[in-house]
Chain A
Amino acid sequence: MAAKESIVGSPALRYEGEAKVLGYAKYIDDLHFPQMIHGATVRSKFPRGRITAIRYGEGIPWDEFTIVTWKDIPGENTIVHLLKDHPCLVQEIVNHPEEPIVLLAHPDKALLRKAVDAVTIEYEPLPAVFTIEESEAPDAPVIWNSEAGDSPNVFKTYLMEKGHVEDVWATADYIIEGEYSTGAQEQFYIENNGVIAEYSEQGVTVWGSMQCPYYLHHALQLAFGLPEQKCRVIQVETGGAFGGKEDYPSVIGCHAALLAMKSGRPVKMVYDRMEDMAATTKRHPSRTRHRTAVSKDGKLLGGEIEFAIDGGAYVTLSPVVLSRGTIHAAGPYNWPHLRIRAKAVATNCPPHGAFRGFGAPQSIFGLERHMDLIAKTVGITPEELRRRNFLQPGGTTATGQLIKDPIDLNGMLTRALEESGYHAKRAEFAKTNPTSPIKRGIGFATFMHGAGFTGSGERRLNSLVAIEVDDEGKPEILVSSTEFGQGTNTILCQVAAQTLHISYKDVRIAQPDTDRVPNSGPTVASRTAMIVGKLVEDASHNLLTCMRASGLLEETYTPEQFCHAALAYKQQHGELRATARYQAPDDIFWDDDKYHGDAYPAYAWAVYVAEVAVDTRTYMAEVKNFWALQEVGKVLNPVLAKGQVEGGVAQGIGYAIYEKCVWKDGVMANNQMTNYIMPTSADLPPIHVLFEEVPSIHGPFGAKGIGELPMDGPAPAILNAIEEATGVRFNHCPLLPEDIFDKLANPTLISADSSQLQPAVAGPVFSGTTP
């Protein structure tokens, strides 16, 4: 048998890597179809209002243009996600700036741009809200009303309870409150959103840059009123996504398809950077309030957490983002009593959407900052506080999930602090900081991230994968799971090769095309390696069973014998194909109503340590060094896994101290690369990536999810380190020099801040507030 044990866990070269380094890989903007024309979008320039007229200005040859409004939509005017509140094109009421109203297509891109500017939308303004606080104010205008009868302006709420938190306040030695908030963050994939659509009697086809072909497939069925077999979606090479191409391709895909239908020609729609930044989704801004009862020896007795996110103007994915944020709000700690109230509110900003971490980075930021506050209040080190409260095997999470894996958070913390020289540095900085204008600090965050869809999500997805042998006797993996840089192609081929005992180079993976690949679920939620990987492993086994049953394949065989047997089988039977469908493990239970049970089949665990320097003359904070230790189950490919962690940490560093979306009445004002700052190669510190591998029974060869985890830890670790360095608490990210200046240069601001250290005093922020 060839290559047993060696493929999984080896640094197999990226499947499509050669095409990428050669510049041969074809992204959507690299494709050109005969007769193709270009599409563009006329958008609202106001946050909320009723359209009274649409005027097509002078000097444009309008008869040469294809013009689409909501009236041209053959099916339902909706981009379907969880609800149908999100229109494909505005009919009457505009609910956010940059909302699509009219679509135009023309062969000449330059003329198209002029035409977009020549369309004027006349409207009567309606009152609007732009922040969580404005949305929840008692006198707020109602901008969104639920049919389900929830409060106005509220998309979704969750209540998660463990024990009886009311009972703990009286017994607490300390009650510690804090409020933490995070800003929006742009995904900043380097390739903007783009698609090409074609329409004919046979149906509608869309090629594009995307994560989830079947999401767009579903959206097309609704917008066009077509049966599924008349809709086809093909993912082409995708230049980064990070969640930003999870739901948005449904919008741009439907738009281009409408233009293709009306013009009778293929239509390419590729946003430029400014449009992409202004109009497409970002990470949800959030606010987390903590009220925690703690004993004098630093045990968490109980807590109340109030978590709120700004969903923007339509529901889109907010309930799911909220769900992950809610479950992760409790962190890897033992809470005897806990109540989490969470809500996603409506504002008149463009809808916020998926971004790596999906709500978890927001609530983990709040918790890990709060843990450092608790430590200070109680008078123990941040390290000691965590050690006294870590979840242990046999313990239960905030949702009541029993920890079965032999996880050792204490050991991980010890290792991460040793690798980073934490103790020595703390002592050194305490000595040097008082006399230096540059204040140095080291801080950390401990956290976990669930892999796969939450709760019963995977059961509902019911994913299917297939493996088919091609005419050369090579197995080809058929999945809708997409590659956009994370390594999907490579790891799935590694898993199949190892299971089939053939060489990695002999396994292929199909381009995701809904006419050809089954629905293996969306490429989100750190689910591909663990859930889809396991299905690929199962399908590979099924393929072998089928070949052996036919008598063509012996128990042991060489790769050549596999190939011969596969071809012989095909000759006899016409095709050789095996499938595997998701089957929920029987020891996983989840109660959607009570929000209780096994939230995820498996978690990845991590300790991230950040070393920072804050220059008190320039108010610049810099990350000088970074350590990322994680337990992610079996590492399928060490080079790709490291790359995932480093890339995620870099985005997390951006989230912490660089990347600020500046909002003006719901409009992103800095929608350009020049003034939205993401870290460059000169800004980032060395990132030391360390793995621990505790194989999980849920993933192929013991793998768990890895993609989102590295986004969770950097921001709180960095702000914890900045507090260590400066002695000042900052509770909002991103933290830019102007924010540091505000507090450092204004000592009065520091003392006036109610969240400053006041042991055992219940501050005004939380008490008495309800979501």
Chain B
Amino acid sequence: MSTITFTLNNSQVTVDAPPMTRLLDLLREHLHLTGTKEGCGEGECGSCSVLLNGELVNSCLVPTLQVQGATVTTIEGLGEHTHLHPIQQCFLEEGGAQCGICTPGMILATHHLLEKHPAPTLDEIREGLSGNLCRCTGYMRIFEAVQQTAKLAEAGK
């Protein structure tokens, strides 16, 4: 067991866990944040995506010891009931979520993409989200959601 302290969704947390515990299990099982999903456990699908110090990572591949002192953002840290994050609102309106299992990861990937490219081209979106698999949507509504979010941000400036 080791004791790990990190910033999770803007608050400091301390947990005891075996150091090789996957960040995914730490979040889901130790901290009961089940918004982060497991689709493959081998770094292929992106449904376990979270932001680690602002970078998009597959939490199924990150051992817990790597998050010591780090900042982690999960889907639970983005918005809440009464106040959806603009990305969440656009996914909802444009039909970017169908079965919803890829959605938390996809939304975090979008967040990461828009940080890098606030006004992404379609090719930047296609490339930027290509680590996150979605079997339901064929991605088109997701692209719309991303573009819509970028448009709103631009208009809000």
Contacts and interface: CB of A to CB of B under 8 A. Distances in A.
B135 A242 contact: yes
A673 B80 CA distance: 32
B136 A684 contact: no
B40 interface: yes
Interface in B103-130: 103-104, 107, 125-127, 129-130
B141 A642 contact: yes
Contacts of A648: 138
Contacts of B95: 11, 14, 639-640, 642-643
B45 A22 contact: no
Contact of A272 (B28, B41, B103): B41
Interface string A625-663: 000000000000001101100111111000000000000
Interface string A673-684: 110001011111
A332 interface: no
Contact of A643 (B98, B102, B104): B98
Given A21-B92, A681-B130, A191 B99 contact: yes
Interface residues of B, number: 56
Contacts, number: 174
A485 B42 contact: no
A13 interface: yes
Interface string B23-50: 0000010000011111111101101000
Interface in A682-735: 682-684, 686-687, 689
B94 interface: yes
A687 B138 contact: yes
A190 B100 CA distance: 10
B88 interface: yes
Mostly, the A contact residues are: loop
B37 A27 contact: yes
Interface residues of A, number: 57
A640 B99 CA distance: 12
Interface stretch (A82-90, A232-240, A288-296, A421-429): A232-240
B135 A18 contact: no
B8 interface: no
B100 A678 contact: no
A651 B135 CA distance: 7
B62 interface: no
A191 B126 CA distance: 23
Contacts of B65: none
A190 B41 contact: no
A190 B74 contact: no
B14 interface: no
B76 interface: yes
Nearest to B93: A13
A23 B76 contact: yes
Given A273-B42, A674-B42, A485 B100 contact: yes
B139 A650 contact: yes
B92 A273 contact: no
A189 B35 CA distance: 17
Contacts of B134: 190, 681
A484 interface: yes
Contacts of B96: 21
A190 B138 contact: no
Contact of B133 (A25, A242, A639, A673): A673
16 contacts: A17-B92, A18-B84, A21-B107, A22-B88, A23-B76, A23-B104, A29-B37, A242-B135, A643-B95, A643-B136, A646-B139, A647-B136, A673-B133, A681-B125, A681-B129, A681-B130
Given A191-B99, A272-B41, 11 more contacts: A13-B93, A14-B97, A21-B88, A22-B76, A190-B135, A192-B39, A239-B37, A242-B135, A643-B141, A647-B98, A686-B140
Query: Which 3 A/B pairs are nearest by Cβ-Cβ distance?
Result: A23-B35, A239-B101, A485-B99
